[in-house]
Amino acid sequence: MNIHVLLSPLNVDELYFNQKTTVVIDVLRATSVICKALHEGAKEIIPVNTVDFAMKISGNAYGGQTLLCGERNTKMVEGFNLGNSPDEYAKEIVAGKSIILFTTNGSKSILRAKFSEHLFICSFNNLKTVAKQLVKLNKDVEILCAGSSGMFCIEDTVCAGRLISEIEKIKRNKSEINISDSGKACKVLNDNYGHDVHSMLSECEHGKLLIKNNFSADIDFCSILNNCPVLPSFAEGVIKLVKDPAAD
């Protein structure tokens, strides 16, 4: 198993991911929200690249079966039903619903990797479940950090490092794992900053911006390990749960 980490979605084009096994990470906050929404019973999530396209395909967004959700520059887009805070995605609101999701970084990163053979969504909230599935598949892995407007961000990188470490814990023969230089760097950052995820998220650049904009509760949720043991998978334009992820 070869594991490579891309520190920005801008480093490669869409065709790079053709037939690959990919994991997309956007801890603050898209992939955390996706895990929460599906854990609470959302039917599916449709990631989109632009607000205009989100509006165009929303169709019956106000008919009860579809929710138009997401953010632009941390704030809920005017006319949307929900923003990008995990606490908004309660069971009574999202259960059985289709969610159209636009975010500044996360939804775009997912679509960047749309040609992957397997495309999984990861956050701290479901990290162990994703690691188990990757070990079960036993294929080469590309971990794509969404970053911030194409720039490096530490929270996604630390999560990537923790995911790699979790894979190493689960896989019996560690000699079968080959980690790229970027993956090794992610592990070092996790070793240094991953011991207190909440503090790391609070002190990183995007975390500080969220706190400034009164989203400190999002930091609380996004820092919890494995509280949403789900496996979201993207295929044919839609994110749904894998029904039978790797067993405990």
| CATH of residue 177 | 3.90.1560.10
Is the per-residue pLDDT at 248 higher than 90?
Answer: no
Average pLDDT over residues 218-225: 98
CA 206, 149, 31, 53 torsion-angle sign: positive
Q: Does residue 220 lie within any of the structural domains?
A: yes
Q: Does residue 239 lie within any of the structural domains?
A: no
Q: Does residue 247 lie within any of the structural domains?
A: no
Contacts for 98 with CB less than 8 Å, ≥ 6 apart: 42, 43, 44, 45, 46, 65, 66, 67
Is the per-residue pLDDT at 247 higher than 70?
Answer: no
Q: Does residue 246 lie within any of the structural domains?
A: no
Give me the domain span that covers residue 105: 2-234
Q: Does residue 242 lie within any of the structural domains?
A: no
Q: Does residue 141 lie within any of the structural domains?
A: yes
Q: Does residue 197 lie within any of the structural domains?
A: yes
Q: Does residue 192 lie within any of the structural domains?
A: yes
Is the per-residue pLDDT at 123 higher than 80?
Answer: yes
Total structural domains in the chain? 1
Confidence of residue 245 (pLDDT cuts 50, 70, 90): confident
